Amino acid sequence: MSIKVVTIVGARPQFIKAAAVSRAIKNAGVERIREVLVHTGQHYDENMSKVFFDELDIPTPAYNLEISGGTHGVMTGRMLESIEKVLLEEKPDWVLIYGDTNSTLAGALAASKLNIPVAHVEAGLRSFNMCMPEEINRILSDRVSSLLLCPTQAAIDNLAKEGLVSGVHNVGDVMYDVALFYSERAKVQSRIKEQLGLEDNVYALATCHRAENTDDPKRLGEIMAGLAEISQELPVVLPLHPRTRKLLEDHGLSRHLNSLTVVEPLAFLDMIALEQSARVILTDSGGVQKEAFFYGVPCITMRDETEWLETVELGWNTLVGASHQKIIDAFREMRTVRKDILEKPYGDGQASQQVLSRLLQA
């Protein structure tokens, strides 16, 4: 007898994580587990959605809710209503959610109100910054989940401090599975470095999209000034989120883009190819921080805190907030550091199999 799982995804990082678990589910066979994929539509740009499904071999979603835009409350409410309808129709044994987006929270709430058990991949992460919408999403999602599938021991410890110990498992990080699986494919298939005229280890790769940075003109200005100064010594490639581009224009900061190599949001394999060959990565993305670590590339994180403390404690990641000077100081210190990583805080690359096993055993 097989079990049915409804998987909720909606944002770029979730597509990546779901790829590994969906592959494990497919390999297990429909006689053991059947997956119904629901795409909320939270990321609607083709390079942030369709291309990911194609490159990552993610099954075509059974449902595309096409919900994007609006305030957090509007978006989450519309998703909650639509996901509830899907769950009433599909009657799954489990709802599988990933990470910390509005799609995650909507899926968790819809399932729990229908008494359908929830499995949360990447449970237990905490930034301890309640101003972050993501922090609220992950705390609430953890509270209503029956299976808390954690990527690290630190995540286990966070949940224990909150009194959550039942159904908690350290399965490792599915992002590490993905990094291992696609690293060579990216090197072979991607042509992005040739297209941009880049050579290995002689450019910086930057991303900036978090609302705490983009919505604050001072923070965004400091970050962009730092990237512009670095570009005087080292080419800086900036895949630019459409929302960030608009806010740069709104804040009168577009001039900083003149010295950068600005590109549209990249397909997954192109991004992986650039990450692997960069001399240094500057980002406010949680996923990119970890990918830098997996590929042994020094990372400068333009946030005041990180959920991935292991990358900092092991000396691969430096938190600089949104300070122009701290960005430059970290760049001067880290740009020549490159060595193999011996520690494995995120598991052995079999997290997706662990997730599958926990679902089948529950």
Query: Which residues are tagged catalytic?
Result: 209
For 307, which DSSP code?
S
Q: For residues 84 and 168, what is the distance between their CA atoms, to the nearest angstrom?
A: 25
Q: How far apart are CA 334 and CA 263, in angstroms?
A: 25
What are the CA-CA distances from residue 65 to residues 102, 217, 230 (Å)?
13, 33, 41
Backbone phi and psi for residue 175, each to the nearest 5 degrees, phi listed first? -65, -30
- 71 alpha carbon, distance to own chain's centre: 21
Residue (of 132, 86, 77, 133) closest to 109 by Cα position: 77
Give the integer Cα–Cα distance in Å for 127 and 180: 26
283: left (phi over 0), alpha (psi -120 to 50) or beta: beta
C-alpha 44/C-alpha 46 separation (Å) is 6
Residues constituting the chain: 362
DSSP assignment of 248-278, as one string?
HHHTT-GGGGGGSEEEPPPPHHHHHHHHHH-
Residues forming a β-bridge with 168: 148
> Residue 337, SS3?
coil
Cβ atoms 135, 105 nearer than 8 A: no
Asked if residue 292 lies in contact with residue 335, where contact means CB atoms within 8 angstroms, the answer is: no
Q: What is the SS3 assignment for 37?
A: strand
Round to whole Å and give the CA distance between 223 and 213: 8
- Stretch (H or E) spanning 282: strand 280-283
Rg from Cα positions in the chain: 20
